[in-house]
Amino acid sequence: MKQKQTRTILKKIEEIKEKHKKTEIKDLQLEKAERIAKHLDSFSDSCSECRNDLEELKAETVHLAVLHQLDSKTILAYREFVQQLSNHLKEKHNMTPEGTGTSIGIAIGIAAGFALGLSVFHNIAVGLAIGLAIGLSIGAAKDNKDKKAGKVI
């Protein structure tokens, strides 16, 4: 961690987690916000947008931490804000949102399984089951690889 904003963000996120219900914390996607703060921190030397985003994330998180009650509008606004930061990391820094491999794997698995089911097995259900199993393992492997490379948002 290079920036002191990052430490503030992580500290405030802990405060928010202690103060509010589990369901609200889940809706806020605080775990994602934490990961994003760390990514922005690591790019902040070379990317001025990441520096600005980090500053804004700090302001938003500090603001959130002083609230005693969360309403759905506040939760939604924070989520949308975090999503914007995630988009920047994805577009400018070639990072991948969590679970991307799995969703790609499922899509490929269904398409391939359907084709295999029609042509090779003459049974769509069998084809789909095999296709999905293969697709899911490919997806999980990609997710793991991205995670190890520190590329998951």
- 76-85 CB contacts, 8 Å cutoff, 24+ apart: 78/28, 78/33, 79/27, 79/28, 79/29, 81/56, 81/57, 82/29, 82/32, 82/33, 82/36, 82/57, 85/36, 85/40, 85/53, 85/57
Q: Would you count residue 47 as binding Zn ion (CB under 5 A)?
A: yes
Q: Would you count residue 55 as binding Zn ion (CB under 5 A)?
A: no
Enumerate residues 58-117 that contact Zn ion by CB under 5 A: 92
Q: Judged by CB under 5 A, which stretch of 39-47, 69-77, 116-124, 144-152 contacts Zn ion? A: 39-47
Q: Would you count residue 50 as binding Zn ion (CB under 5 A)?
A: yes
Interacting residue with Zn ion among 49, 55, 56, 98 (CB under 5 A): 49
Residues lying near Zn ion in the complex (CB under 5 A): 43, 47, 49-50, 92
